[in-house]
Structures are given as structure tokens and as C-alpha cells.
Amino acid sequence: MHPPGRPRLTGPEQVRDGWRQLFRPGPTLRFSVTGRQLFTGASLAVSSVVENIQVIGEPGARHTVMATNVYLLTPRGWRMLSHHASPSQGAAPAPPAQDPPAVLH
């Protein structure tokens, strides 16, 4: 996890601190998610979404981010392995969701 354009954060402590810094000013961000694409396997899931972010108090200030999350099923439940987000200038609408093919390779 890291704000776009900043160095990558690794490890639980750096990631938690990054989230604390992001939300330290209070409830100033409003998120909505669109264009969700999801692939799930027996122990791995990949989610791709468009994050639409509005800054409260800044009329018209909206940001679009393309995000991909990878999750692994562990004995303690699903855990995020990776999160990647890239700023997008007007993300293209996602195609309608379809069932994944039986064979992926």
C-alpha cells in the first residue's frame, strides 16, 4: 500500500503506518468501487476494480484509480498478498463480468 507516486511500502508495520497517514485528517475521502472483475481459485483470488475517490469539501475533485488485489487463503482465512493501484485518466468502463474459462493457459 502506498499513495501513487510514493515509494513502495512493505511489511505490516509500514503498511499500517501508510493507512494511518492516509486517514489521519479524518473522514475526508469518499470511495466507490466500479467495474469489479474477480477470479477465484481454490486458494487464490484476484480482484480488479476501479476506485472512484472524491475529496470531501473539494467540489468536482474526483480521482480514478485502477486497483488490483491478490488474496491467498491461509489457515487464518483470506490474506492480502499484494495491492497495486495506478492513477487513471478516465478509466475505460469494464466489460460485463463473465465466468472464467475452465482452462486459463
pLDDT score for 4: 56
Q: Are 44 and 73 in contact (CB under 8 A)?
A: yes
pLDDT score for 97: 58
Mean pLDDT per block of 10 residues along the chain (105 residues) reads: 65 84 79 91 95 83 88 94 80 56 63
**Domain contains 23:** no
**Domain contains 103:** no
Q: What is the pTM of this model?
A: 0.64
Work out how many domains the chain is built from and give that number: 1
**Domain contains 35:** yes
Domain of 36: which CATH number? 3.10.450.50
**Domain contains 5:** no
pLDDT score for 40: 93
**In DSSP terms, which residues pair with 30 in a beta bridge?**
54
| Residues spanned by the domain of 44 | 30-88
pLDDT score for 44: 96
